[in-house]
Amino acid sequence: MDTAPTTYAGGTGSPATYEVGELARLSGLSVDTIRFYQSRGILMYPARQGRKAYYGAAHLERLAEIRSLRERGLPLREIKSRLTQGNGAEPLEQDLRLDFGEFSSRIGLPAAIVRSLIAEGLLIPITEDGRQVFGVKDIRMAELALQLLGLGLPFAEVLALAKSHHARMQETVDEAVELFEENIRVDPGTADEDEIADQYQTFTQLSKAVAELVALHFERLLFTKSEERFLQTAGTKEMETVLRLAKERQDR
């Protein structure tokens, strides 16, 4: 039987006693909102015991801070800046680095499955000082994959879909890199230090913008297609139930 660990991911030693549903109830936020804040680096990740995740008092405090700042009208970018630049806030795990064994244990996946995901190109470790390590985004990607499996999707079909998506995305990435090379890349033989620095800054901005654009576009397409399929196949009772649940969610 799993037992809650004695510390949470933030590292202060506070007892971690809440699972995500309880954290959502206590904070007055939805589970989806909590996951979203984690994905944006505003809320630290929980401690893990096998496949279970545990949260502590510091997570509640951070959520209360976020909620207070949101109610004051601050955008998420400003909130993240405030919470990660002091102001009594606890540091996030943006610089977290885990080796293979630590990563496998943290996400609760057998080493053989992690190796297969790496082999298929679905997990891409960071190379630092000649060794492969994993960061916060790798943890989040693995957690999302586990969430899909937990919702009932078969592993083999999720893996096949991920492989297909990876192949298509590789083509898109290659085209994006080629576009950068043709239009932004300076001549390495003639560029001075300032030009190279400017190019690096431009590349960083382009990479972030393209990544967000692709993610938003995919999300819009997925939602639109799913909605179309539902409207085409839903029966009267199913339609009434879903519309009622959607309205209840909006009213919260």
pLDDT of residue 223: 86
CA distances from 61 to 18, 31, 57, 58, 113 (A): 13, 16, 6, 5, 35
Confidence of residue 212 (pLDDT cuts 50, 70, 90): confident
Looking at 1.10.1660.10, 3.90.110.10, 3.40.630.30, 3.30.365.10, the CATH number of the domain 16-83 comes to 1.10.1660.10
pLDDT at 92 over 50: no
45: DSSP letter: P
213 versus 12: the higher-pLDDT residue is 213
Which of 72-86, 138-152, 179-193, 195-209 has the least mean pLDDT? 72-86
d(CA 80, CA 58): 16
When computed from its CA atoms, the radius of gyration of the chain, rounded to whole angstroms, is 21
The model carries a pTM of: 0.54
pLDDT of residue 105: 81
Q: Which residue ranges make up each domain of the chain? A: 16-83, 100-150, 184-251
What mean pLDDT value characterizes the chain?
79
134: DSSP letter: B
Question: CB under 8 Å to 50, separation ≥6 — which residues?
Answer: 2, 108
Extract the tokens encoding 157. Answer: 């079909």
pLDDT at 31 over 80: yes
